[in-house]
Structure 1
Amino acid sequence: MSLLSSPQGTPERVWSLISLLAASGGSLERTAAAECLNPGFTENTIQMLEKPTAFSQTLGAATSLDAVETDRTDLRLHPSCPTDSYAAFCDWVHARLVSLDSTEKDAVVLETFAWVAVETDRQGSCNWLHDATNDAFADAADKALPPGNDDDGDRRINTVKLAAWRRWLLSLGLAVPLPIVGAAAHPLVDSRVARVVRSLEGQAAQDLSADAFLTLLAPRLPYLDGGRMFLETARRVGHALAPRRLSPILSATLRNLHDDGLIEMRLQGDAGNLMHLHQDRTHKVSSFNSVVLTGAA
């Protein structure tokens, strides 16, 4: 199974399974775990049992991530999987997905997001994302993705997998829900980029060139400007990236982090090495050539 072929294996349910195993010393008999996470309920005085699909898909998602190992009778927590907080777990999932090669089935989660970032750059805004039907979005995304190795024999992304894909994006800090019934999740990477900035030990309050700053981000956020997924997607779909201009998604996030005081984008020295942000007439910063990580400490 994979993350997207296990739609009931939501991030929250996978975390519940991990927490259960951690509380049980790192391992638990499979039936006992299923009973804990999939308890019965009473309806009209009759004891009922939930269908086992939710548990089996939760286990499928957890094993796809290598967070949980299993045999016929027992489940074991992988020692690398953090158990101290949900945020730490989501960071661990993000790091694992970033490390995957395109041929691995769960790479589709971030590769699809890379296509969203590239397509948003091509169209100049996120409006297309909210105008597209699920069918149209899934068809276009699947055509843009590299060949994969799905074990379900289906397309890498389809309308059934979209709900799971969006839930994992929300958990990873790559999107936010919109308060509109039926609306797609809106791509917003502020929280993920902020966590990366805070992790850049030794760089706090140091003046970095724009290029050096983006070079630090690219391997950690490969689905954004300069990252391998972003660049490969642009080449694959034939989108010519504008030189020294950032995409709408990354531009919006850098402006937000600048306003929040986590970074400070500056103009200083030689103006020949400017990095331009996507146009936003409501914001005072339109270009920069240095960055101070003011809130990284």
Structure 2
Amino acid sequence: MILDLGVKPHMTIYANTFKIPNHFKYAAEVGLKTVVFDSACELYKGKEIYPDANYVIRIKHDLQVHDIRVVFGEKYGVAPDLEAPQLLSLARCLGLKVVGVSFHIGSGVGLLNAGAYYSAIEDAKRVFDYGASLGYSFNLLDIGGGFESEYDLPKFAEVINSAINTFFPDPNIKIIAEPGRYFVGTALHLSTNIIAMKEVEHLDPVTGLSYPHYMYILNDGFYGSFKENIVTKKVTIPKILSKKRNRSEKFSSSLWGPTCDPRDLILKYVLLPLADYGDWLIFENMGDYTLTMATNFNRLPLPDVYPVIDQITWTLLKDNHLFENIFTTNDMDKAFFEK
């Protein structure tokens, strides 16, 4: 898909550390040179399939806090001070060219964890130094992604730039990142329709008194656009589009998906104004890992996508010739992020 868009193979990085052999062979055929590894198995596989690739070792930097959506360290990356030196030594013995280090702190990193980028970059510097002791000359550092679109990127940049200036002052080292969520998170708002509702009585465990609870069944759910958000417990509270009801008073509510699965639950408990069958609920900032992970379980259709843009932005994008497609250039210095 990326190649079909005109992106040059040398401008891409094969970041999955567990490569399907046929995919690995295809990467070699089209000249996708930069590939990531974090195990001896991948090095032996690479020696057999793609011995002249440029290899990047992935290290891990796990966080022991909760302000993060997905932690990658259990599956990806190696310890920078133990396993990384062993793998680099093996790569040297196999005659493979290693050109840099990558890491990915986790997906959906909150501001509380911004400082982790500093320590991860410091870890990468030690791996660079060990590589140099083996005769390697690394020139690439991939700091991964995880930046949420709703957070203030300059606050992350301040920490990251400080670490880069401290540990990687050499301007010849290319610094790249993978800010996927940051770019697409706000690109899509999801409109869902209440296809059914049910009022049930819940019992207050403290007072012993009953109170009304409203169950709203939506036309989208876990098997559609909400899988990632439900698993990572990041479902946002929706806005209700309705003129029929008083919007000030709020009631105990829950939101459910439309499938036959009783586990198709979006929000177990949320305070919402009273809504009606047929009302619309708007979930903002649903651009990341929503439609791309949706299925047609129970033969339910996926949401339609309607591009919307305001006149000022459209005019800017349409008429501004300063925008350059950096991904199709042959000049890597213009395409990769540099200090």
Q: Which structure's residues are more often strand, by fraction?
A: 2
Q: Normalising by structure 1, what TM-score?
A: 0.29
Pick 1 or 2: higher relative contact order, CA cutoff 8 A, min separation 6. 1
Which structure has the bigger radius of gyration?
2
